[in-house]
Amino acid sequence: MAGRPQLTANVTELPCEVSVPTRWRQIALTLVVVGLLVATFNLVLAWGLRHTTPNRGYWLVKTKFQMLRGLEAPVDRLVLGDSTCNQGVRPEILEARLGGSTINLCTFGPNGLVDDALMLDAYVRKFGPPKSVIVVHAPDVWSRPINYYTLSQAPLGDGDLRWLGGNGLLGASARLKIFLGEYVPIYSAGKGAAELLRHPFNSASRRFELEPNGFMKVDPDPENTRSDIDRVVRGLNMYAKPLSGSNAVALEAMAALADKEGFDLVLFHSPVCDLLIERPETMREYTALNVKLNAQAAKSSHVFVGAEAAWTWPAEQMQNADHLTTTSSVAYTVKMAEALAKLDHSTP
Amino acid sequence: MIFTSLVFLIFFAVVYAAYLGTQRHLRLQNALLLCASYVFYGYWEWRFLLLIVGSTLVDYWVARRLNGTDDSRRRKRLVALSVVVNLTVLGFFKYFNFFISSTKTALELAGWTSDLSTLDIILPVGISFYTFQTMSYTIDVYRRRMKPANSLLEFAVFVAFFPQLVAGPIERAQTFLPQIQKPRTITAEGVNAGLFLILWGFFKKAVIADNVAVVANTIFDDVGGYEGLDLLAGVLAFTIQIYGDFSGYSDIARGLAKLMGFELMLNFKLPYFALSPAEFWQRWHISLSSWLRDYLYIPLGGNRGGTVLTYRNLCLTMLLGGLWHGAAWHFVLWGAFHGTILVVYRLVPSPGRPLPGWTVVPRWAVMFGLTMVGWVIFRAASLQDIGTLLGGLGLQSSSVTAGLYADLLFFSWPLIVMQVFQHKTRNLLCVTRLPQPVLWVLYGLMLLWLLVFGMSHNTEFIYFQF
């Protein structure tokens, strides 16, 4: 630039790049050591996330599986499903209305019906058949394929893996994802890891609380509910089939177990916001899904559809598009109890 | 193909393995580089490869013809042909709709009606970068500053070299073509520096820029909905975002090139340490500012025609520099703003001796503030938003203020620390001089942050749109 006309002038001393003499061995050593450091950190993080995760869904899966493992006596009624059911079905109301003991083991949507089937299988192996099983899912969850990264958050034992393998749900890709989900959080749980590092004391177990019967209390959030409608509709539009392959396999397996062991399996739709039911995508989904669920019920003497129509609530009584609050969960569970009583199949 | 995508990492691993395997065969290696570059570009939109190929053929042919004649009129016609072809392509794809809609608006303001209509034109990625690069080649051959390339293959690699194809640095044929023409030597020093630049570039893009972008977008998408301190957080966030994004890309490009034995020009020299607009342009997007100096400012007369003409040339250069960034009035305004502050700083009489040390901080603060004002003009969606944002800056806080600053600080402190270290040592590679154990820990932490906090979705680099 010296001696040439300048677009600019009066510049202070500028930085430059000064390389340092390096040997190839130093570079190789750096790559190896950095690789080892990252691997070590990854394992520490995996350990940390196993004990304290900020992700509510992951925490639910872990906690509910632990509840199942920790059960010391059989219960009459198992409630399985996703997070809509986790905060929508109150076991004490079912107990009061229908009698018998009930536990809510619902987890969250990404695991679909597969972890319902895993839990049911594990329960039956441990205690024998319950008297009835209720399965509840949000409209978009029925159509979602299983997410093995989230499934890996469950403490999967040999029996669980055998069940997955026996039902054709444990191919090489699934095994890899379960491994990555369990042992490589820097790849599989980036957001959770980031949240844990940023807010180490903000774990899900500090923010949420489960009652001893598995029910979780939640406050209303009408604004969030209104804006959440599109999320569910997007989910409905994402998949063509109303019942995904992995969910169909899980449902089939649960139905087969119900027939074999002689307990009732009752399927319910989750509660939804009345604004969601107005969307044509939602109605289309329910129509197609009910055909599938009724077909499954027709094949088995122990499988029932609790109610074909979805029960709706105004946004003010919901946490989001398909999740109830503590107050409105009472009405949902009462409706469910009435439907079960009508079916006259659930009363132990 | 975006540098921060898994596809690119696989692509580069394959290309690099093949590149190392062809180290003893220059022509084969150059052919590999060309194929890889075309795949890299064609992965986005293969039809626009024709533009690059067309531009390559025209400028190669023009330069060969220029070399074969001493007839000055013929030489002028040839170089004009190159400039016209390149600017026509650039003008059509980048500025046609802008020109039409601006003309229409002007006619309507004058009370005329018009049925001018815009076209549905897709802007080819990186067109402004490679067009300027090839134009500078023919102009340099015309000025007899260099001999034309003897090999079309070598020239095609110069135009399409994939690390810097879509967002620069805008290389000069005089320095880059010779590197393509002779066998490259891959040294441990180069690889060491390259690895640092790639890691730091990824870090700046995926950890810093993409995360502070969340703060910037929140504010800029709703400028009327926030208090003064929130608006300031948004402006600071964009100031960090655009630097992290663009310099991150440049670092990755230069790092990849170093791994292959090439040396690309430095594009950034800690621009936010500038004490004046003049210094800022010596530090920011250096390959563009030096291009504008050599091929626009100097031909306009530079500072040879007296004070007024110098100011005119400065303003014109910066206006066109602003327009280079995009076909929108706010880019032109941004250029005009920088032209104006360059002139205003020149109007202040120089004391003729170095300014005392205590003036550094206030001079830096003023320049940093002006830079941020520039970024408001650059980023805001409308002139009204610029007014709302600049007028609304203040010390009023809201319920979200603390959260915005917490996010901003959490993601930008590594940048601040690194830049201060680089500034103090006057060495952009100062990190590579750290003792090895310190370096291992630092690289490990950077990689971990990248894996944990790097935005998982592939966010395009801002400068791809230019």
pLDDT band at A10 (very low <50, low <70, confident <90, very high): very low
B317 touches chain A (CB under 8 A): yes
Give the DSSP per-residue string, B406-462: HHHHHHHHHHHHHHHHHHHHTBTTGGGGS-HHHHHHHHHHHHHHHHHHS-SS-PPPG
Q: Do A30 and B443 touch (CB under 8 A)?
A: yes
pLDDT for residue A327 is more than 70:
yes
Q: Which residues of A touch B289 (CB under 8 A)?
A: 7-8
Partner-chain contact A190 B456, CB within 8 Å: yes
Contact map slice: B 176-215 vs A, CB within 8 A: 188-193, 195
pLDDT score, position B455: 62
CA atoms within 13 A on the CB side of B35: 12
Using CA atoms, how far apart are residues B357 and A326, in angstroms rounded to an integer?
65
CA B289 remoteness from chain centre: 10
* A316 phi/psi in degrees, rounded to 5: -65, -20
For the entire predicted model, the pTM comes to 0.81
Q: What is the pLDDT of residue A218?
A: 80
Asked if B447 is an interface residue toward chain A (Cβ–Cβ < 8 A), one would say yes
Smallest Cα distance from B351 to chain A, Å? 12
Q: Nearest-CA residue of chain A relative to B317?
A: A7
Q: Note the pLDDT of residue A348.
A: 46
The pairing of beta strand A318-320 with beta strand A323-324: antiparallel
pLDDT for residue B359:
86
> What residues of chain A have any CB closer than 8 angstroms to a CB in chain B?
4-24, 26-27, 29-30, 33-34, 37-38, 41, 45, 186-187, 190-191, 193-194, 197-198
Give yes or no for a contact between B172 and B226, defined as CB atoms under 8 angstroms apart: no
pLDDT at A228 > cutoff 90 = no
Q: Which residues of chain B have pLDDT under 70?
A: 116, 118-121, 455-466
pLDDT at B457: 47
Q: Which residue among A5, A17, A38 sits closest to B448, beta carbon to beta carbon?
A: A38
Rama region for B270: left / alpha / beta (φ>0; ψ in -120 to 50; rest): left
Amino acid B461: pLDDT? 55
Q: Is the pLDDT of residue A283 over 90?
A: no
pLDDT of residue B466: 52
Average pLDDT over residues A37-42: 92
Contact A44, A69 (CB under 8 A): no
- pLDDT attached to residue A8: 44
The answer to whether residue A1 scores a pLDDT higher than 70 is: no
- Cβ(A263)–Cβ(A130) under 8 Å? yes
B191 interaction partners in chain A (CB closer than 8 Å): 22, 27
Residue in chain A lying closest to B197 (CA): A17
The CA-atom distances, in angstroms, between A183 and each of A39, A43, A67, A115, A191 are 10, 7, 23, 20, 15
How many CA atoms lie within 13 Å of A168's alpha carbon, on the beta-carbon side? 8
Residue A80: beta bridge partners?
Answer: A135
Interface contact flag, A21 B191, Cβ < 8 Å? no
A–B CB contacts, 8 A cutoff, strictly below: 131
> Pick the catalytic residue: B325, B330, B423, B457?
B325
pLDDT tens, A231-272? 888 888 888 788 999 999 999 999 999 999 999 999 999 999
Query: pLDDT-based confidence at A12, cuts 50/70/90?
Result: low
Q: Answer whether B422 touches A (CB < 8 Å).
A: yes
Question: Which residues are within 8 A (CB) of B118 and not within 5 positions of it... i.e. 6 or more apart?
Answer: B96, B97, B100, B101
Min Cα separation B104/chain A (Å): 35
Q: Name the more confident of A198 and B217.
A: B217
